[in-house]
Every structure is written in structure tokens, then in C-alpha cells.
Amino acid sequence: MEIIIMTILSPQLRCEWRLESYQVALMSSVVFLAMGIGAPIWGIFCDKYGRRNGLAICACSILYFGLLSAFAPRYSWFVFLRFLVGFGIGGTPQALTVYSEFLPMNLRGRCLTLMGLFWAFGSMLEVLLALFIMPTLGWRWLLGLSAIPTGIYLIVNNWLPESPRFDMLSGRTAKALETLRYVAKQNRKPMPEAKIVTFKEDNRGQIKDLFTPEIRRTTLLLSFIWFSSIFCYYGIVMLTPSLLQSRDSCMADVEAMAGPACGLQCKYLTSDDYRHILWTSFADVPGPILLVFLVDRIGRKKSFAICFLMFSLFVLPMYACLGSTTVTSLILVTRAVSTTLLQVCYVYTPEVFPTQTRALGFGFCAGFGKIGSLISPFVSEVMRSFSLYLTLSVYCGISLLAAIASLMLPIETRGKRLGETNQNQDAKVTTTTGDYTFFSGERE
């Protein structure tokens, strides 16, 4: 919700504060810059002090500065406060880190993928709020009400258990065993009489660990894939209002090239525009559902490559003169594909890194991806004012390069256990019937 809201506010604040195109782009870019800075920092924090604590603190940051931004008196204050909101948002991917560490191998891909539906629901809820609130109460009320879900999370965070994997690496085996007993009770399964054998790992959360010979190539390629996925996703999201406000893509390009005066052109979003944006937000729903059936069948690497190729293929028709209905349909498809790409990132990344660097690896790659979201608003807002065709070519080119990078990934995680430490210090539950890797839900 805190991300899609910038797409909704941009036309409103352009008119209210008489902003130029680069200033409108900067409002979104500072959020993504802060997310890129915050993601690896939150990753280091979560690897050292716990996933649950990190999520609680970043939620406090989002809530506090999100509410303050509703009272921003001028453009500079608004940009500064949204930067701080973005820094907090950089820690939210750690929710998938802790979630993945509770999931058994046979359900991991599907469950992580379905988490993407909540991203779609959040986007649709934000557009619905804007549809009813913007014409009556204004953008400040929209910002304030959009912070409510974060406040709700802070309350329910009290019931979120810490990851047993993190507790093991921290030497808190008693706490890990207590969590496992709680999980067994909730699942109505017997807890085996066992003793957890593990090793305390003190050197956690060091960036150099991401560039060891074993995972260096994975780190570099996956960082570029994250960059490309987010760059393409936000490119389509940011282009949506400007494309829908014109009669067709040709007219949009002519108007954008009309001259410098376009930099201050003011046009509020109408109710029809909000409905169009709501329909395009529905495109975030099919991707995770489709991926549930594909990710464990064709694998993560092929899923990446196919989606990047599909993105390029469906962007190409936008070069032609098309009506608004056709453009809306193409936006729906490309957004669905780009959403699917993000979900594959969220599934593959926590799977491929070992436990002691999982949060950091996730944060580092997500942070690198935020560079894509930092650049994308300038491409969609500023470059488009010169040429729509050049803008589309940039998105196609990046997508094709990412498809190649996907096939070069050295590790396919489909059907494999979560990566553990390089020393293979797996925690085992020893019972009278054999050794089980309890967290992965499979017998060794």
C-alpha cells in the first residue's frame, strides 16, 4: 500500500505544488533509494538480532513516518519523510525469510508464492481507498488511513514466534525447542522425543560471506535479476496513469513531445482513472496463482527466463498506435508477468542462501533491486517525455538480458532443502526411528 500510493499521489501533488516532471519522479525515487539502503541494513540486523525484532522495528518506522508525511507542509518535507518511510519498507522482505524457515520443503514454493496475493490485495485496497477518499477528504487523509494496516501488524507481531533456525545459530536451543513444541501443538502433531544438536554461529550478517567462491556467482546474477524484475514492474506501474490519461498510446507520445510546458501540465486523476488503475491492479492476482502450479514443476530458473521473455513480447505491441482498451489489456498482461517475476525472486532468494546469511542475502539482493525502482521513475517520467519508443526499448532490453542471466544461475533450488551453513551444520532431531531434518519436513 505504501508503494502504490506514490502512483496515486503523483498527479495530485504535481497540480497542488506545481511540480516539474523530475520533481514528480524524485518523490518515488527517494522511497526506492531508501528501500535500497535499508534492505541490506535490515538484513544484517535480522541475522544478528532476530527476524521478529527486525520486522517489529521496521514496522514502527513505517507507521511513524507514514503518519508524519500526511502533515508535510511542503514538497521538501514530504520527500524527506517518504525517504524515511522507504527505509522502513526495506525491511519488510524479511517476513518471507522467517516464513520460509518454518515451511517444509514440499510446500515451500507454493506457500511463498501465495504470499504475493497479499501484495495484490494491498494494491487494490489502496486504489479503493483513493477512489473514495481523494475526491472528498484529500491526499493527507489517504496517507493517514493507509498507515492503519501497519499498526495492526504491530499488534499481531506479539504472537509471531522467532525462527527456530535463528535461535539455533544463536545458541538458544531451548528457545528453538520451545517453538518447535508450539508448532507441533498447533499442527496437532506429536513432538518426537529428541535432542537438537546444533552449533552456535557467531559470525553472522557479514557482507563478505555473500562473495565466497561458493555463492559469489549466485549473488551477482541474482542481484541483477532483482534489479531487472523491480525495474520492469515499477516501469509498468508508473507508466499506467499517463498511458490511461491519453486516448491512445500515439496521442500520449505526441502530447509528451509537445514541449517544455508539459513539465508543468496538470491533470488530476478522475474516477475512471482510478477504476482503470484498480483493474490493472487485478493483474497482480493471476501471477502468484499461476506460479503455484509452475514453480515446483519447471523450476525457478526456467520460471525466471520464461517470464522475462514474455514481458518483452507483450511490451513490443505498445510501439504501435493502439486504443486505450488494447493498451489497458497489454498493461494487465505485462503487470501480471512482472508480478510473477517478483514472486519467483521471493521464492528463490531465501532458498539459495545459507541460514547464517539468509536475511542478509535477501536484503542485499532486494536492496540491489531497489536501484531498479530508483531509476525506473526517471525512465518512465523523464525519458518518456522525449520518446515513448526509447522508453519501451530500455525495458525490453533489460528484460532480455535478465532472461539470459536467469539461465546462468548455478543453483536450481526446486526439490532441495533450504541452504544451510557451508560447514553443513544442520540441526537434527534424533529419535529411535532415525535422524530427521525437522525444519525441512523431510527425512535424511
Distance CA 341, CA 312 (A): 13
Residues 392 and 276 in one domain: yes
What pLDDT does residue 436 have?
A: 40
d(CA 328, CA 323): 9
Same domain, 338 and 217: yes
The answer to whether residue 416 is domain-embedded is: no
* Cα 172 from Cα 395, distance rounded (Å): 47
* Whether 34 contacts 90, CB under 8 Å: yes
pLDDT confidence of residue 108: 77
- Does residue 149 share a domain with residue 242? no
Residue 156 maps to a domain? yes
pLDDT value, residue 243:
61
Cell readout for 169 is 545459530
Ranges in the chain, pLDDT < 50 = 246-249, 252-264, 420-444
Residue 415 counted as domain residue: no
Is residue 242 domain-shared with residue 148, that is, in the same domain? no
Q: What is the pLDDT of residue 78?
A: 93
241: cell is 496513469
Q: What is the pLDDT of residues 158-215, one digit of tens each?
A: 888 888 888 887 778 888 888 888 888 888 888 776 566 555 555 556 788 888 888 8
State whether the Cα torsion 348-351-354-360 is positive or negative.
positive
In a domain, 180, yes or no: no
Task: Give yes or no: residues 128 and 248 share one domain.
Answer: no
Pair 68, 149: CB distance under 8 Å: no
- The SS3 call for residue 83 is helix
151 and 294 housed in the same domain: no
- From the number of C-beta atoms within 10 Å of its C-beta (0-12, 13-18, 19+), residue 86 rates as buried
Domain match, 124 and 231 both: no
**Residue 65 lies inside a defined structural domain of this protein:** yes
What pLDDT is recorded for position 58?
92
CB hemisphere CA count around 338 (13 angstroms):
31
> Are 354 and 366 spatial neighbours (Cβ–Cβ below 8 Å)?
no
Longest CA–CA span in the chain (Å) reads 78
Domain boundaries, position 145? 1-160
- Both 311 and 242 in a single domain? yes
Per-residue model confidence (pLDDT) at position 425: 41
Query: Do 279 and 350 belong together in one domain?
Result: yes
Asked if 213 and 153 sit in the same domain, the reply is no
* Phi-psi group of 171: left, alpha or beta (phi > 0 → left; psi -120 to 50 → alpha; rest → beta): left
Identity of the residue numbered 165:
R
* pLDDT value at residue 250: 53
Is residue 258 in some structural domain?
A: no
Our count of domains for the chain comes to: 2
Angstrom CA distances, 373 to 25, 34, 43, 190, stand at: 11, 11, 19, 46
**174 assigned to some structural domain:** no
Domain match, 335 and 394 both: yes
Q: Which residues of 166-181 are buried (b: 16+ CB within 10 A; e: fewer)?
A: bbbbbebbebbbebbe
Residues ≥6 apart with Cβ < 8 Å to 307: 337, 338, 340, 341, 344
Judgement on whether residues 152 and 3 belong to the same structural domain of the protein: yes
CATH number reported for the structural domain that contains residue 40 in this entry: 1.20.1250.20
What string of DSSP letters covers 121-148?
A: HHHHHHHHHHHHHTTTT-HHHHHHHHTH
